[in-house]
Amino acid sequence: MKVLRTAFLLTALTLVLIVVGDAFGGPNGMKIALGFAVLLNAIAYFFSDKIALMSSGAKPVSREQLPRLYEVMERLAAKANLPVPKLYLVPEAAPNAFATGRNPRHASVAVTQGLLQLMNDDELEGVIAHELSHVRNYDILISSIAATLAGAITYAARMGYWANIFGYGGGRDNERQGGGLSAILMIILAPIAAMMLQLGISRQREYAADESGAQMVGQQFGLISALQKLGAYNQRIPSNIPQTTSALCIVKPMFGGGSVWSSLFSTHPPLEDRIAALREMTISRAG
């Protein structure tokens, strides 16, 4: 069901791109916007792992340095039939973890010092299984596709807006565009719609990683307990993980006071909803 929801949201993003591209620039405008977005996101796709690790201050760790982390990772990676990702430690007290990398063979998992100190073995196993699920589910690739489509919609709307102002509208019927209110509404509403769809995809991938991580472990209670701890401690301990990397984290770090708007535009579902979904799960022993 969650895979179908993600596919639906990606399809919706594609349809928005088609509508915006056709309205402002016709097929050519849409192609230019998509090409520009593909180029920028291809660069991000291949280098985002290095950027995320560097910006968060993550340092590579060996098995000798963190045998407990390696033992959990190697056991779960073997169970999931995945290569063991490169492991990193983020030297900060706020508990968190994130996975990055364009595919399972180029994956990295980073955990904070606070996570290792606060989590018991079952909780750590739940967190690592969640991150490995992101790797196995190719969530970085899915997020890159969503970002490409959302970026293309934004570029198409901007290009079309300026084309209308200077009289270069490329749509099939310039009179239809009106050049005024409709163009202004399009440039405002189209990027917002694209962003909301992109955030919806991100939230669905978090639910999916929770579910498949629990299936990987064979029970959901370690991850439930871990999410409860992560929610409690991240409310009290400030994080140094940058906002650009926070979308990758198992829970979004707290950078300030929460609000209705921050929840609406969050890359993560509410923790209470994630925990409720896990409680309702029936674990398949075959998983």
Mean pLDDT across the stretch 256-264?
Answer: 51
Q: Which pLDDT tens digit goes with each residue over 117-176? A: 999 999 999 999 999 999 998 887 777 676 666 666 666 666 665 555 555 544 444 444
Residue 284, pLDDT > 70, answer no
pLDDT of residue 174: 46
Per-position b or e across 63-95, b if 16+ CB within 10 A of its CB: eeebeebbebbeebbeebebebbbbbbbebbbb
pLDDT of residue 199: 85
Residue 24, pLDDT > 60, answer no
Residue 256, pLDDT > 70, answer no
Cα–Cα distance for residue pair 32/38, rounded to 1 Å: 10
pLDDT of residue 186: 65
- Give pTM, 2 decimals: 0.76
pLDDT of residue 259: 46
Q: Which residue has the higher pLDDT, 86 or 167?
A: 86
Q: What angle do helix axes 121-136 and 181-217 make, rounded to 10 degrees?
A: 130
Residue 95, pLDDT > 80, answer yes
Rounded percentage of the chain residues whose pLDDT exceeds 70: 63
Mean pLDDT computed over every residue of the chain = 79
Active site residue 71: no
Q: Which of 131, 206, 211, 280 is catalytic?
A: 131
Q: Which pLDDT tens digit goes with each residue over 206-253? A: 999 999 999 999 999 999 999 999 999 988 888 888 877 888 899 988
Residue 193, pLDDT > 60, answer yes
Burial of 272 (0-12, 13-18, 19+ CB in 10 A): exposed
Cα–Cα distance for residue pair 91/250, rounded to 1 Å: 17
